[in-house]
Amino acid sequence: MADPDDDLRWRVLARTAVHDYRIFRALAVRAAHPRTGAARDFTVLDTPDWVNVVALTPADEVVLIRQYRHGAERVHVEIPGGMVDPGEAHAAAARRELAEETGYTATTWRHVGTVEPTPAIHGNRLYTWLALDAVVTTACAHDPGEVITTFTAPLAEVTAMLRDGRIDHALVVAAFAHLALAAGELRRPDRG
Amino acid sequence: MADPDDDLRWRVLARTAVHDYRIFRALAVRAAHPRTGAARDFTVLDTPDWVNVVALTPADEVVLIRQYRHGAERVHVEIPGGMVDPGEAHAAAARRELAEETGYTATTWRHVGTVEPTPAIHGNRLYTWLALDAVVTTACAHDPGEVITTFTAPLAEVTAMLRDGRIDHALVVAAFAHLALAAGELRRPDRG
């Protein structure tokens, strides 16, 4: 059967390292146009995989963090998460990041979704995990570059924060979309 | 009243251009730790704002595109969108990108949400617009680097695609989350 994507795929001619930024590596990609064959240059960032965690307490409150982000130059409300270490399973990275960033651990875990953060530029995946009955059992272990505060909020309050933009980190919004999809349907808004 | 974020904010000491990649510009940021004052280096990418569009036809089908993404090195199912031009309003960019990429235009538009795509790295915003009663009225005008096919699918099918990962572009997932938030609530999944 014909593959409907055949005439969409660029053929990669070359991938050249430009600069290593530690948290990602810039590559110059030369690729052939899928229809005309004409070569064109693109920049992509080779980036490690990421995880994030929707952790719910026994009272179904969400474990949230506040953290300054250097790209946006302000403090964001987020869920815990971080980079998957080389050779680490994303299931293990989710457990590690939750504990290191917040001190919370949980016994019940479910993988609720995987997204590609910005596939036009980044080549990595973000794995979202749901942790149930999360409780504080350990001390935080922040990286030298991490300054984080932790708090909890009921799911209804998190919904309000997503709606009014207090939570506007796209990867956090996507995580809650996968949580909602695990529970029910997306709907279209009423007109007007 | 004390600002709870005071001790989370890094103080920027320097922002230095590293490389201009055309679709973003790499900057080296030197910033002081909000508690210890110790200087530390971060990389951020100065990136133009983006828009994307959930366009619904008169039959409430979603206008979707298929496009190869060089970061992920594969074809993604997405909604139309792109960069906001310098000096352009995001409302105008949404209308322009929908028409250029798909040939669809619409008379009823609503801004349904704004996210920051990856605020740890990128400094830009993504504005999501809802277009109702979208119909094909014009010819596509693809950039030389764009190879795109357009199709439509009912909202229920899009929900299935989000759930099973056929749609896994995080910024598209976030757009549908804002659509769902405009319509109702996020819910927690059942246990087990």
pLDDT band for B192, please (50, 70, 90 cuts).
Answer: very low
Contacting residues of B for A120, CB less than 8 Å apart: 69-71
Report d(CA A121, CA A9) in Å as an integer: 16
Q: Which residue has the tokens 């390292």?
A: A17
pTM of the entire predicted model: 0.91
Q: Are A177 and B177 in contact (CB under 8 A)?
A: yes
Average predicted confidence (pLDDT) for chain B: 89
Look up tokens 């496009």; give the residue. Answer: B67
pLDDT (mean) for B62-71: 94
Pick the residue from chain A with its C-alpha nearest to B166.
A115
Decide if B32 touches A, using CB distance below 8 A.
Answer: no
A44 CB neighbours in chain B (<8 A) are: 70-71
From B71, B170, B186, residue closest to A45, measured CB to CB: B71
By the 8 A CB rule, do B56 and B133 touch?
Answer: yes
pLDDT > 90? residue B140: yes
Assess whether pLDDT exceeds 90 at residue A20: no
Picking from B70, B113, B88, B134, the residue whose alpha carbon sits closest to that of residue A162 is B113
Fold of A50-183: Nucleoside Triphosphate Pyrophosphohydrolase (3.90.79)
Enter the tokens of residue A68. 């300054």
Q: Is A37 at the interface with chain B, CB within 8 A?
A: no
Q: Where are the domains of chain A?
A: 6-46, 50-183
Question: Model confidence at B63, in pLDDT bands (50, 70, 90)?
Answer: very high
Distance CA B13, CA B131 (A): 43
Coil/strand/helix, residue B102: helix
Check residue B21 and give its pLDDT: 84
What chain B residue is nearest to A61 in terms of C-alpha separation? B188
Q: What is the ipTM of this complex?
A: 0.91
Confidence of residue A146 (pLDDT cuts 50, 70, 90): confident
Mean pLDDT of the region B30-38:
86
Q: Which pLDDT score is estimated for A68?
A: 92
Q: Could you tell me the two tokens for B10?
A: 């890094």
B143 and A CB contact within 8 Å: no
